[in-house]
Amino acid sequence: MLQIPHIRTHQQKVIEGLQKRGVKNAEDLVDQVLEYDTQRKNTQTKLDNLKASSNNQAKRIGQLMKQGKKVEADKLKQQVGGSKQEVKDLEAKLKIVSNKRDEVLYKLPNIPHPSVPKGNTDADNKVESEHGSVPTLHDKAVPHWDLIKQYDIIDFEVGTKITGAGFPVYKGKGARLQRALINFFLDEAVNAGYSEVIPPYLVNQDSGFGTGQLPDKDGQMYHAQEDGLYLIPTAEVPITNMYRDVIVEETDLPIKHVGYTPCFRREAGAWGAQVRGLNRLHQFDKVEIVQIQHPEKSYETLNEMCTHVQGLLQKLDLPYRVLRLCSGDLGFTSALTFDMEVYSAAQKRWLEVSSVSNFETFQANRMKLRYRTGDNKKHFTHTLNGSALALPRIVAALLENNQTPEGIKVPAVLQPYTGFDIIN
């Protein structure tokens, strides 16, 4: 959530940033936020002054009663009675204008970092770099949705019978490959200084709001309405919310966590080969890295997190590229995001496997997550997270790029985890 003082101080820059993201009525929305906030401030001032006056009158009544001046005390009591009703009216008005301000404020996405390229769709994302060589496949190479049937390692039909489309069942070596990747990603993160956590897979409404999934992505999350809980779309939500309403010491920064969770997303996406097989699922596994960092160091940290993700792809020997997302493709809460895409040789297309983002103070403001300096002043932290990594498209690329007439070769780095070097 954008900070009101920042909007007031940098009003034109905020408007330009929102317009860059495609918010058409940005100027009107900003004006509404500031007008409601002005009304809120004025109402709060009146309320505070009235309460202070009422308190003084109450003390005066006590003094008059002690002095035996009952008539004067009774007159003053009548005035205080009228003030009490005015206090209730002002409190009601304060609640109304505060809610109106917040309702508009919650619609405003984060302001993009100056380095974010302007654009409307993923076609406008900037390719920062490309790495690795695209493998040359044998003549009978096929996409992963054919490979998983050939080697009986993932079953979509059984998953559809049990639950529905987008919920596959991993079997045999497919299940072991899945577990191997999870453990490999976790171990790499722990070795890089991240502390592992196993968070809940369900979160309450406050947690969904804290990291910005609510109300922005309400329709995309699975909702257990009777309990008011949501299945998590990413481990970012529960892990970051561990620090909601927390004040951390400046000396404790950065805070680094890694967690594995299944992720649940309702969005259906497009049709055809782009979402076929493992390309788009409603339930999938992901290892997430999260950092809570000092504002002055967050962009250095963003680069470090991107380097960590690239290191995983290099160890898996997957060709990949790094994209700087344009303003139109940027997530609601992000100030700057880098996507990592691997090349799928059989599909002959790039597949997104990781997004690494800096949210600056946007999430921290919503969660009231602050750090305390040595002089006891409190400031909002910056929050960052990244997929390290999401499994479905990694598995798709590994299966396709490593297929041979004899079977699917397992990358050397995974063999200690799988216990086998080929799927055949």
Residues flagged as binding site = 234, 265-267, 288, 352-355, 385
Contact yes or no for 37/63 (Cβ under 8 A): no
Count Cα neighbours of 198 within 13 Å in the Cβ-side half-sphere.
1
The four Cα atoms 157, 162, 168, 173 give a dihedral, to 10 degrees, of: -90
Q: What is the 3-state secondary structure (H, E, C) of the chain?
A: CCCHHHHHHCHHHHHHHHHHCCCCCHHHHHHHHHHHHHHHHHHHHHHHHHHHHHHHHHHHHHHHHHCCCHHHHHHHHHHHHHHHHHHHHHHHHHHHHHHHHHHHHCCCCCCCCCCCCCCCCHHHCEEEEEECCCCCCCCCCCCHHHHHHHCCCEEHHHHHHHCCCCCCEECHHHHHHHHHHHHHHHHHHHHCCCEECCCCCEEEHHHHHHCCCCCCCHHHCCEECCCCEEECCCCHHHHHHHHCCCEEEHHHCCEEEEEEEEEECCCCCCCCHHHCHHHCCCEEEEEEEEEEECHHHHHHHHHHHHHHHHHHHHHCCCCEEEEECCCCCCCCCCCEEEEEEEEECCCCEEEEEEEEEECCCHHHHHHCCEEECCCCCEEECEEEEEEEEEHHHHHHHHHHHCEECCEEECCHHHHHHHCCCEEC
Annotated binding site for L-serine: 234, 265, 288, 385
Residue 12, sorted as left (phi over 0), alpha (psi -120 to 50) or beta, turns out to be alpha
Euclidean distance between CA atoms 123 and 400, whole angstroms:
25
Annotated binding site for ATP: 265-267, 352-355
Contact yes or no for 306/322 (Cβ under 8 A): yes
